[in-house]
Amino acid sequence: MKPRHFLSLLDLSPAELKQLIARARELKALLKRGELHRPLVGKTMAMIFEKSSTRTRVSFETGMAQLGGASLFLSPRDTHLDRGEPVEDTARVLSRMVDVIVIRANSHAMVERFAAHSQVPVINALTDLHHPCQLLADMQTFIELCGDIAGKKAAWIGDGNNVCHSWMQAAKQFGFSLNIAIPKGYEPNASLVAACRDHVTLLQDPKQAARAADVVVTDTWASMGQEHEKAERTKAFAGFMVDAALMKLAKPNAVFMHCLPAYRGAEVAAEVIDGPQSVVWDEAENRLHAQKALLEFLLVGNKK
């Protein structure tokens, strides 16, 4: 039987996603009560990271330890991946030894090739196209703090990047509307937009996007691998900083989200990210709980 993978938010049904968020909240409560929950004793998770990470790496490793399993961190430099061993062969070999494989890769196509040859679930820990694990945590955070997100209005201000793509897919799967304000030339992938078109509106004016929003979200203007474009991007994104004036246009109880790492004074003003509407630390913490629910779902099935 083919394993279930989690390469994008479309790999789980809306009902499965909803259940997964509910389970993440239960696992969070269990942990806070100090109760041990170890359904993954004897299981091993391999983690292949081609790019840097603080949150994703630590939350996956900590989560796996809390669930009773073990993890192996594999930098491509220390395996044969960087010496030309085919991705397909690496997938065949690793998946005969470990129970789940988490990959952060430059190219989404690489993760798809890997998953196609893996006997065990593969989880996308960020690619150039998607960051679905981030959105599990973001949806958990919104739902915990503000209630159901279905029918609500979100505003994405900034780059049409991997995190933006996952927000678009979240809009479709969780049933909210997403206004995206992006400077010309930095729009999200057109075919991904088309697949979510009932839930996504592309704009060029941050003010128009933020008006009456329940959540305002942004991300760095220069993602990993785009550092050399930083100066040019800083120019192109002038006027796209999320500041207090922009937040005033959103609903009074709107929250501000950012996947982190953040650059104060660029995509977000310090007064916003460090202000009362910011929920970025809850988002970061919820990476742990949401990914534990994902590991449990993929390795032992639905817990309800």
The site that binds ligand CP (CB under 6 A) totals a number of residues, namely 8
Contact yes or no for 255/278 (Cβ under 8 A): yes
Choose one: 85-93, 183-191, 203-211, 215-223; the region binding ligand NVA (CB under 6 A).
Answer: 215-223
The site that binds ligand NVA (CB under 6 A) totals a number of residues, namely 9
Contact yes or no for 25/137 (Cβ under 8 A): no
Per-residue binding letters, 149-168, with ligand NVA (x by CB under 6 A): ------------xxx-----
Does 224 bind ligand NVA (CB under 6 A)? Our answer is yes
Contact yes or no for 283/258 (Cβ under 8 A): yes
Among ligand CP, ligand NVA, none, residue 220 binds (CB under 5-8 Å by kind):
ligand NVA
Q: How far is the CB of 124 from ligand NVA (least distance, A)?
A: 12
- Across the beta sheet with 215-218, the strand order is 200-203, 177-181, 153-157, 215-218, 255-258
Q: What is the DSSP letter of 177?
A: E
Closest C-alpha to 176, from 223, 143, 219: 143
Contact yes or no for 273/243 (Cβ under 8 A): no
Distance CA 232, CA 100 (A): 39
Among ligand NVA, ligand CP, none, residue 54 binds (CB under 5-8 Å by kind):
ligand CP
| Nearest residue to the partner ligand CP, using Cβ | 56
State which residue, 53 or 79, has the beta carbon closest to ligand CP: 53
Instruction: Looking at residues 192 to 251 of the shown chain, list those that interact with ligand CP (rule: CB under 6 A).
Output: none
Per-residue binding letters, 125-164, with ligand CP (x by CB under 6 A): -x-------x------------------------------
Instruction: Looking at residues 119 to 138 of the shown chain, list those that interact with ligand NVA (rule: CB under 6 A).
Output: 126
Whose tokens are 């073990």? That residue is 70
Among 18, 43, 55, 233, binds ligand CP (CB under 6 A): 55
Instruction: Looking at residues 110 to 129 of the shown chain, list those that interact with ligand CP (rule: CB under 6 A).
Output: 126
Q: What is the largest CA-CA distance in the chain?
A: 54
Q: How far is the CB of 8 from ligand CP (least distance, A)?
A: 15
Burial class (CB in 10 A: 0-12, 13-18, 19+), 26: middle
Q: How far is the CB of 164 from ligand NVA (least distance, A)?
A: 8
CB-hemisphere CA count at 13 Å for 125? 30
**Which DSSP string corresponds to 247-273?**
HHHS-TT-EEEE-S---BTTTB-HHHH
Q: How far is the CB of 128 from ligand CP (least distance, A)?
A: 14
The set of catalytic residues is 104, 131, 134, 219, 259, 287
Binding residues for ligand CP (CB under 6 A): 53-56, 126, 134, 259-260
